[in-house]
Structure formats: C-alpha cells, structure tokens
Amino acid sequence: MNKPILKRLLQVVVTVGLILYVCYSAGFFSPSGRAEFASILSRVDWVIVGISIIVTFLQNLVSVWKWKLVVVAKRLQGGFLLLLNYLYVSRLYNLILPSSMGGDVIRIYRLGRLNSNMELSAASVFVERFVGMLVLLALSCISLGFMLEGGGQLFVLSFGFVLIVTVTFGWAAIDARFVRILNILVNKTRSGVLIKVSEKFENFQKSIRQVSKNKGFLVKLFSYSILFYVFAIVSVWISALAFDLSVSFVDMVIAVPFIMLIMNLPVSIGGLGLMEASYTIAFGLLGYSAELGLITALLMRGKALLDALIGGMIELGRTGKRTAQE
C-alpha cells in the first residue's frame, strides 16, 4: 500500500473515531443524552442565528481587508470584491481538497493568474496567513492556564504542531540559507525542476523580506489579524447564545483559540469530527454541556457550508461566463 492511500485510510479511521467520540460525549448513545440534545435544539433563537451569520460575513470582510493590504503592498492587481470572490471560492475547495490548505492554493493560483506572477501571489497569501498564525499562537497563551487541566495533552499537541509549522515555514520564507541549501541540491543533481524551484523560491523570499521591513505595514496587518480573531470569538459566542443565553463572552475568549488550534491538526478529512470534538472538549472544560458544544459546532459548520455554497455559486457563474464566451 503506497503512502498517500495509507495516509487517507488513517484519516478515514481518525475521522470515524472522532465522530464516535463526539457522539459518545454528547450522549447520543443514551436516551437521556438524545433528549438533552433535542431540548437544546428546541430552544434555538433564529434571530440570534441570523445575527451570527452576519457576524461571520463581517469576519470574512476583515479577512479580505487583511489580504487586500498585502496585495496593495506587493503592487498586485485585485480589487476588494474580486478578492472576496476568491475567498469564498477557497472555502469551497477547503471542503473538496484533502486539507484546509487547499483553499490557500486556490487563492494563490487565481491571484497569480490574474497578475501573471505566482511568486508574488504566494507571498501575499503566505504573509497574510503567517501573521494570522502568530496572532493565534499569542491568543492561545490566554487559554493555556485554563485548558491544560483535563484537556492538556490535546492542547499541547495542537499548540506544538502549530508552533513548529509556523517557525519552520517562517524560517524557510525568510532565511537565505534555505535557498542556499536548494542551490547545493541543484549543483549536485543538475535538475531542471530544482533550478526553477530555487529561482522562484528566491524571488518569493525577496518579496517576503521586502514587506517584513515595513513596520507601518506590519502594525496594520497585525491589527487586522487581531480584529479577525475578535470577530471569530464573537461569532462562536453568538452562535452559542442562540441555544443558551448564559454562555459567557469571557469563556469564549478562552475557548476559541483552543478550538482553532485543534482544528489545525491535519488528522481528519476536512476537519470533520475534529471540529466537533474541539468544541465539545472546550465547552466541557469550561463547565458547559458537551451537547451545547456539539450543537454550537454544528451551527459553525453550517455557516462554513454556507460560505462554500456561495463559493460554488461563484464558480458556476464563472464557468457559465467562460462557456458563453467560447
């Protein structure tokens, strides 16, 4: 069995295992648990659900503003509405492609084709994502003292994984020694592919270093990232309020970084099961029921599917225009 198939099989096993864990934690295997879930669901406030959807839309706008800031800094073409379209399409491909990074690949490809420059496009997406991960790691320190007891192993695993990935990619994107390592491989192998990769990566690094020297730009970018996570916390809080008005905003400030860290683990298909497990664990550690955590997660997943649906409609419209032109 080759490695891709084995990896996919392991993801399927982990996904099924996580779903079973969530169902067990939420009491789906007992009549009382199912009754509690049904009771929470029956108390849903649809007005608050609508407000939650609006907050998620505003969060998407902040995400695009942050990306637009980098696009302008790199002197790339791409208006706000076009970048918003790319964002929604990326949400569609996050569901289709094997990992949550699939959407970023689509954003890079679309912006790169528009500007005929994949290196600058990749740099714009990388900078936007990298700064976001740094802010998430900083916010996660708030959760650290509250979440270690009871959920410590999963939290430490998630924190460590995100930290290692962030540091590794950050080093590769900035440190010139990485390109020198590539050049050594090029000289040894004389591979045409490696020569092209080395040249493109060197251009990519130069682009990253240029924006990293602009302190005013970095302050704005970090500010947008903080604002993005404020909206992320508010989105989860309001989603939980739709089922239980006693949910504390402060508790969500603690829970959401924990949840978003766990969701970065590449262990399940499209985050299925992992997202729901992160909510049930986080809500449980803060004294809320696993049922409330699960139903909040399902609402959040529903909003993600709505974003993907919008992305799908944009793709269909784009395909239709292309067909009509042909």
pLDDT computed for residue 158 by the predictor? 63
> What range defines the domain where residue 297 resides?
3-155+214-325
Please work out, in degrees rounded to the nearest 5, the angle formed at the alpha carbon of residue 73 by the alpha carbons of 70 and 79: 65
Q: Quote the number of domains for the chain.
A: 1
What six digits make up the tokens of 226? 């903080």
The answer to whether residue 122 is domain-embedded is yes
The answer to whether residue 291 is domain-embedded is yes
In the structure, what pLDDT confidence band is assigned to residue 117 with cuts at 50, 70 and 90? Answer: confident
pLDDT computed for residue 156 by the predictor? 64
In the structure, what pLDDT confidence band is assigned to residue 270 with cuts at 50, 70 and 90? Answer: low
In the structure, what pLDDT confidence band is assigned to residue 243 with cuts at 50, 70 and 90? Answer: very high
Per mean pLDDT, which of 58-72, 128-142, 165-179 is the most reliable?
58-72
CB atoms within 10 A of CB 298: 15
CB 202 within 8 A of CB 187: no
The answer to whether residue 194 is domain-embedded is no
Is pLDDT of 298 > 90?
yes
Is pLDDT of 104 > 80?
yes
Percent of the chain with pLDDT over 90: 30
The answer to whether residue 305 is domain-embedded is yes
- pTM (2 decimals)? 0.82
pLDDT computed for residue 314 by the predictor? 92
As a whole number of angstroms, the distance between CA 240 and CA 229 comes to: 17
Q: HEC string of the chain?
A: CCHHHHHHHHHHHHHHHHHHHHHHHCCCCCHHHHHHHHHHHHCCCHHHHHHHHHHHHHHHHHHHHHHHHHHHHCCCCCCHHHHHHHHHHHHHHHHHCCCCCHHHHHHHHHHHHHHCCHHHHHHHHHHHHHHHHHHHHHHHHHHHHHHHHHHHHHHHHHHHHHHHHHHHHHHHHHCHHHHHHHHHHHHHHCCHHHHHHHHHHHHHHHHHHHHHCCHHHHHHHHHHHHHHHHHHHHHHHHHHHCCCCCCCHHHHHHHHHHHHHHCCCCCCHHHCCHHHHHHHHHHHHCCCCHHHHHHHHHHHHHHHHHHHHHHHHHHHHHHHHHHHHC
The answer to whether residue 196 is domain-embedded is no
The answer to whether residue 166 is domain-embedded is no
Q: Stretch 269-289: mean pLDDT, rounded? A: 83
pLDDT computed for residue 326 by the predictor? 52
The answer to whether residue 242 is domain-embedded is yes
pLDDT computed for residue 311 by the predictor? 93
Question: Over the stretch 183-229, which tens digit does the pLDDT of each residue have?
Answer: 676 677 666 655 665 665 666 666 666 666 778 888 898 899 999 99
The larger pLDDT score, comparing residue 269 to residue 74, is at 74
The larger pLDDT score, comparing residue 180 to residue 97, is at 180
Q: Stretch 264-275: mean pLDDT, rounded? A: 74
pLDDT computed for residue 17 by the predictor? 84
Quote the distance between the C-alpha of residue 247 and its chain's center. 24
In the structure, what pLDDT confidence band is assigned to residue 65 with cuts at 50, 70 and 90? Answer: very high
Q: Stretch 168-175: mean pLDDT, rounded? A: 68
pLDDT computed for residue 127 by the predictor? 82
The answer to whether residue 24 is domain-embedded is yes
CB 196 within 8 A of CB 190: no
Question: Over the stretch 129-168, which tens digit does the pLDDT of each residue have?
Answer: 888 888 888 887 777 666 655 455 556 666 676 677 677 7
CB 209 within 8 A of CB 174: yes
In the structure, what pLDDT confidence band is assigned to residue 295 with cuts at 50, 70 and 90? Answer: very high
Is pLDDT of 254 > 60?
yes
